[in-house]
Amino acid sequence: MGSIHVFHAAAAMRAFSREQRQQGKSIAFVPTMGYLHEGHISLVRAARERCDVVVASIYVNPTQFSRNEDFGLAPAPARALQDEDLRKLAEAGCAAVFMPQSLYHAGSSANGGSSSDTGMVVGASEGYDPQAHETWVSLDHLSQGLCAKTRPHFFRGVCTVVAKLFHIVEPDAAFFGRKDYQQWRVIERMVRDLDMAVEVVGMPILREPDGLAMSSRNALLAPEDRQRCVCISRALTQAREQACACTTTDAAQLQQQIVDQIAAGGGLEDYVEVVDAHTLRPLAGDVRGRHVLIAVAARFGNVRLIDNVEFG
Ligand SMILES: Nc1ncnc2c1ncn2[C@@H]1O[C@H](COP(=O)(O)OP(=O)(O)OP(=O)(O)O)[C@@H](O)[C@H]1O
Ligand SMILES: CC(C)(CO)[C@@H](O)C(=O)[O-]
Ligand code: BAL
């Protein structure tokens, strides 16, 4: 295993990046929330191929969670898991990892003024606090619908933290998984609209042998739900095959089929949507000749899973 630099302070992280750049090296960046699996590692490998130096981050960003979500289920990885994450990153050729304790000015009211930023979970503190973070990055349209239906605050939190991370790491290219398809597209749009000098790369979804999209949250599934939730990827694959073979091409019919299969598999859908892959707006009628994304979010127990297929 190669060695890996670990930075907790933004200034030290930025100094490392600038030193690399001064030596003429290009920098790729892979932001994560830890609990790393092969999906994350595939991003690091692709980043390694594209640039001279790969930097990853591990930070569970509180501002993309609301009070009733599973932020509490995903605290910063415990020490042993952190070591495991660092080992995986180093093995895949990552040169440095940024692991900030906090990225926000929590203000005096959050957590009694402690340095922890868990008070930044949306809704956890109310009212104006001049000490607290108050600048946000948000989009008007692309961040509506799909994941925003049940997580209306989500993309504001993601864009804000990704913008902050880009300012700290100063990468040439940043790698995101297309499992979080809307997130990838929203970040691409933010970069375009705000003239950020970062190439945004969207990478294919890595799956378990039975088809389930790899996710840190999979480890939280009860054993029976782990069996059942494979209905998501099966239903999506079947829909794509039917649409591509022109046996079912009606958007509403494709959608209903998936809804039924997830319900039969014991899942509770957040959304099942057939949308245009560029605009992310719902498609109606015949999808032949369209660039289609079928995206799903569904709950098994208290675990929310997302997946999608893209075709056309
Ligand atoms: N199966 C996968 N294939 C490819 N990329 C992935 C996969 N899972 C996650 N990623 C990407 O890894 C990056 C970090 O994601 P994150 O740390 O939230 O992992 P996650 O497994 O999606 O976690 P969670 O289960 O908490 O949603 C994101 O760009 C995400 O799209
Ligand atoms: C991009 C990200 C690291 C921002 O917190 C997160 O949303 C994720 O892991 O996909
Ligand atoms: N990759 C998804 C991050 C989240 O669900 O908050």
pLDDT at 68: 74
CA atoms of 147 and 203, how far apart (whole Å):
19
DSSP per-residue letters across 98-124 = E--S--S-BTTTGGGG-S--GGGSBTS
DSSP per-residue letters across 210-245 = TSPBP-GGGGGS-HHHHHHTHHHHHHHHHHHHHHHT
* H-helix or E-strand spanning residue 299: strand 292-300
Residue nearest to atom 21 of ligand 1 (CA): 215
CATH 3.30.1300.10 domain position(s) in the chain: 216-311
Residue nearest to atom 29 of ligand 1 (CA): 176
Residue nearest to atom 2 of ligand 3 (CA): 180
CA atoms of 275 and 37, how far apart (whole Å):
28
* H-helix or E-strand spanning residue 296: strand 292-300
Residue 8 in tokens: 């907790």
Class of the CATH domain delimited by 5-203: alpha beta
Nearest partner of 169 among 56, 282, 270, 258, judged by Cα? 56
- Fold of the 216-311 domain: Pantoate--beta-alanine Ligase; Chain: A,domain 2 (3.30.1300)
Ligand located closest to 215 CA:
1
Ligand 3 geometric centre to CA of 154 (Å): 8
Catalytic residues: 40
CB 283 within 8 A of CB 274: yes
pLDDT at 113: 36
Among 151, 161, 166, the mutation site with the greatest number of ligand 2 atoms within 8 A of its Cβ is 161
Residue nearest to atom 3 of ligand 2 (CA): 32
pLDDT at 80: 73
DSSP 178: G
Residue nearest to atom 31 of ligand 1 (CA): 177
pLDDT at 81: 81
Q: Is the ipTM of this complex over 0.85?
A: yes
Whole-structure pTM value:
0.94
Ligand 3 geometric centre to CA of 181 (Å): 11
CA atoms of 201 and 188, how far apart (whole Å):
8
69 lines ligand 3 (CB under 6 A): no
pLDDT at 126: 65
CATH 3.40.50.620 domain position(s) in the chain: 5-203
Ligand 3 geometric centre to CA of 58 (Å): 12
Q: How many CA atoms lie within 13 A of 16 on its CB side?
A: 24
CA atoms of 20 and 193, how far apart (whole Å):
27
The dihedral through the CA atoms of 5, 6, 12, 13 has a sign that is: positive
Ligand 3 geometric centre to CA of 64 (Å): 8
Task: Please list every protein residue whose CB sits less than 6 Å from any atom of ligand 1.
Answer: 32-33, 39-40, 42-43, 74, 176-177, 179-180, 203, 205-206, 213-217
pLDDT at 52: 98
For the chain, 312 residues long, give each residue's pLDDT as a single digit of tens. 568 999 999 999 999 999 999 999 999 999 999 999 999 999 999 999 999 999 999 999 999 988 777 665 555 566 678 899 999 999 999 999 999 999 999 877 544 333 345 556 665 556 788 889 999 999 999 999 999 999 999 999 999 999 999 999 999 999 999 999 999 999 999 999 999 999 999 999 999 999 999 999 999 999 999 999 999 999 999 999 999 999 999 999 999 999 999 999 999 999 999 999 999 999 999 999 999 999 999 999 999 999 999 999
